[in-house]
Chains A and B, each alone.
Chain A
Amino acid sequence: MTALAPRDLLILAVLADGPSHGYGIIKAVEDRSEHDVLLDPANLYRCLRRMSRDGWIDEVEARAGDDRRRTYRITAKGRAILRSEVQRLEGLLRGLRPSLAGHKR
């Protein structure tokens, strides 16, 4: 399992909390990354196209009453990928922390 780009990871994480539309994802990614990852629509939709092609996410019908915006939802495969990536990162961090602690001034 190769490492996910931070952007992909954040998008999956946002969608894991519930379905969202494009602008919702941009806003949520921005909040969660503390304004570190700033998305633009072109790149966002390119990512979304790739993820839905690979089956990580899928599209859901717009809710009645809402406007015509397309909404995305994470799939089981997406969740598995998210989980394994988070585990990989946690493992990585576990390995890193002691050395940081040892060099505390």
Chain B
Amino acid sequence: MIEPAPLVLVVEDEPAMTRLLTSILGEGGYRVFAVGTGRDAELQASSRAPDVVLVDLGLPDRDGIDVVRQLRTWMTAPIVVVSARGRERDKVEALDAGADDYLTKPFGAGELLARLRVALRHAARGVAGAPAVLDATDLRVDLERREVRVRGEVVRLTPTEWKLLAVLVRHAGRVVLQATLLREVWGKAAESQGLSHYLRVYVAALRRKLEQDPSRPRYLVTEPGVGYRLRDDADLAP
């Protein structure tokens, strides 16, 4: 029996954007159901059980962040939000409300498909099955053996660098909020103690060890104003 193509619930009020998304996703191997309001999004999410939901934060009837929060109360399928540049606070808020990732408008087709691919991969693994190994072309991280190899060579990390990398690997491909990283690496108090610059300094240190050209990171990328993302080869594909 052939497994049916994953269903994407598109929540978008601009007809032109909906048409384009339907076309790109259809050709990308997804089934698409599109709604134009937050109210319909909730109705269809419960009746159609989509595999992933794509929500534009600028909806006519309700705040997109509320839609995310509402869906998250009962739904486990991944949610990817779409928002404009310069609205980084909205993105952080949406991720806090339970969204799994975000796309900045305007985005390319490749970026859209990569985000959905990563979101579905994480959902398939579930919480318990977080990946223990990240295997990219030049970078291999094995969480169980506590081993990092860059182009085959073992790289030594400090304990803090290791903790930071481990969190990123567990969320590989997805954006991780600054606040989440601070909490998981330095503890609950770090968030409120203004230690966010620690994070940046350790990210820079990690890049010097992991990236071929630390000034142009390929794997550990900054999402300005939001957080960091550890990309693997699946994300790097166009």
Chains A and B belong together in one complex: no
Chain A residues in the interface with B (C-beta under 8 A): none
A-binding residues in B (CB < 8 A): none
